[in-house]
């Protein structure tokens, strides 16, 4: 147990709310091979990350549609039907977050997210707006995890000591980067493992969740 850790920093996508383009595109492109090809060569992860870096969805859809005019409707759906990629909360994690909040634990978030879609996500999931003292959103900072500088924005803006922070993310690279700047960090893979790690760091009491 590290009693110097007082603060918990959450990632959001695939830690607190689920996100996967497959949820939408399995409806639009039923053939698995064609769907994989579309998501690997047209609406790629790298293309989506540019919105997380601050590019508007209008610009993103327009430029990609010009490149692939025969795929315009499928490309537009990525933005227009974005919520179909987000089926709901990751089961169990919100309960841990609320337990931490009830104990007076300072809570923050650092997320790779489009500014536009994050506003929509907060409207749909109000706890994303009410739970955190501050949220560092990549699109607003023009920085993406795992760039160490995005964590430093959190520290500097909130006068936080890295060694006082416990960071949670589903990406191993983001976890490694958090550790490189001095935070304790948890690679999120299951709610049970996360709960155990929070208890091990003295952030939750045994038997205090449910």
Q: What is the pLDDT of residues 31-46, one digit of tens each?
A: 999 999 999 999 999 9
Q: How far apart are CA 45 and CA 145, in angstroms?
A: 14
Domain count, the chain: 2
Can you give the residue range of the structural domain that contains 76?
Answer: 22-85
Same domain, 140 and 45: no
Confidence of residue 73 (pLDDT cuts 50, 70, 90): very high
Mean pLDDT of 149-161: 98
Continuous segment of H or E residues that includes residue 107? strand 107-111
**Which tokens hold the place of 95?**
């309960």
pLDDT score, position 17: 98
- Secondary structure letter of residue 90 according to DSSP: P
Same domain, 103 and 193: yes
**Which tokens hold the place of 86?**
């987000």
State yes or no: pLDDT of 210 exceeds 60. no
Same domain, 109 and 156: yes
pLDDT score, position 207: 60
State yes or no: pLDDT of 3 exceeds 80. no
CATH number reported for the structural domain that contains residue 125 in this entry: 3.40.50.1000
- Secondary structure letter of residue 10 according to DSSP: E
Domain-terminating residue out of 85, 108, 131: 85
Same domain, 135 and 157: yes
Mean pLDDT of 162-182: 98
Mean pLDDT of 54-78: 98
Same domain, 45 and 128: no
State yes or no: pLDDT of 1 exceeds 70. no
Same domain, 126 and 181: yes
pLDDT score, position 179: 98
DSSP alpha helices (H): ranges in the chain?
22-28, 32-41, 45-52, 57-67, 72-80, 93-102, 115-124, 127-130, 138-141, 148-158, 172-180, 191-200
Give domain status of residue 206, yes or no: no
Inter-residue contact 133 to 108 (CB < 8 Å): yes
Domain-terminating residue out of 85, 114, 130: 85
Same domain, 148 and 176: yes
Q: What is the pLDDT of residues 75-124, one digit of tens each?
A: 999 999 999 999 999 999 999 999 999 999 999 999 999 999 999 999 99
Same domain, 60 and 97: no
Mean pLDDT of 159-182: 98
Same domain, 94 and 126: yes
pLDDT score, position 209: 47
Same domain, 145 and 183: yes
Q: Cis omega (within 30 of 0) on the bond before 146?
A: yes
Domain-terminating residue out of 85, 100, 115: 85
pLDDT score, position 85: 98
Please give the C-alpha separations between residue 121 and each of 26, 41, 96, 210, in angstroms, as whole numbers.
22, 27, 19, 25
State yes or no: pLDDT of 50 exceeds 80. yes
pTM above 0.85, yes or no: yes
Mean pLDDT of 143-162: 98
- Mean pLDDT value across the chain: 96
Confidence of residue 206 (pLDDT cuts 50, 70, 90): confident
Same domain, 127 and 190: yes
Give domain status of residue 210, yes or no: no
Residue 20's CB: how many other CB atoms inside 10 A? 13
Give domain status of residue 2, yes or no: no
């Amino acid at each position: 147990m590290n009693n110097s850790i007082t603060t918990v920093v959450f990632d959001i996508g695939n830690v607190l709310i689920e996100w996967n383009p497959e949820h939408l595109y399995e409806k639009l492109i039923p053939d698995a091979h064609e769907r994989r090809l579309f998501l690997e060569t047209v609406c790629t992860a790298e293309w989506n990350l540019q919105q997380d870096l601050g590019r508007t969805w209008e610009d993103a859809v327009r430029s990609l549609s010009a490149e692939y005019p025969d795929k315009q409707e499928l490309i537009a759906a990525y933005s227009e039907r974005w919520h179909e990629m987000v089926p709901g909360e990751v089961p169990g994690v919100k309960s841990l977050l609320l337990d931490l909040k009830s104990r007076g634990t300072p809570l923050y978030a650092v997320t790779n997210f489009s500014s536009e879609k994050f506003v929509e996500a907060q409207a749909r999931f109000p706890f994303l707006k009410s739970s955190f003292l501050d949220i560092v959103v990549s699109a607003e900072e023009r920085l993406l995890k795992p760039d160490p500088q995005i964590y430093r924005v959190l520290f500097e803006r909130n006068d936080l000591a890295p060694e006082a922070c416990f960071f949670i993310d589903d990406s191993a690279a983001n976890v490694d980067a958090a550790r490189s700047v001095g935070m304790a960090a948890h690679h999120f893979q299951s709610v049970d493992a996360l709960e155990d790690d929070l208890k091990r760091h003295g952030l939750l009491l045994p038997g205090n969740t449910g």
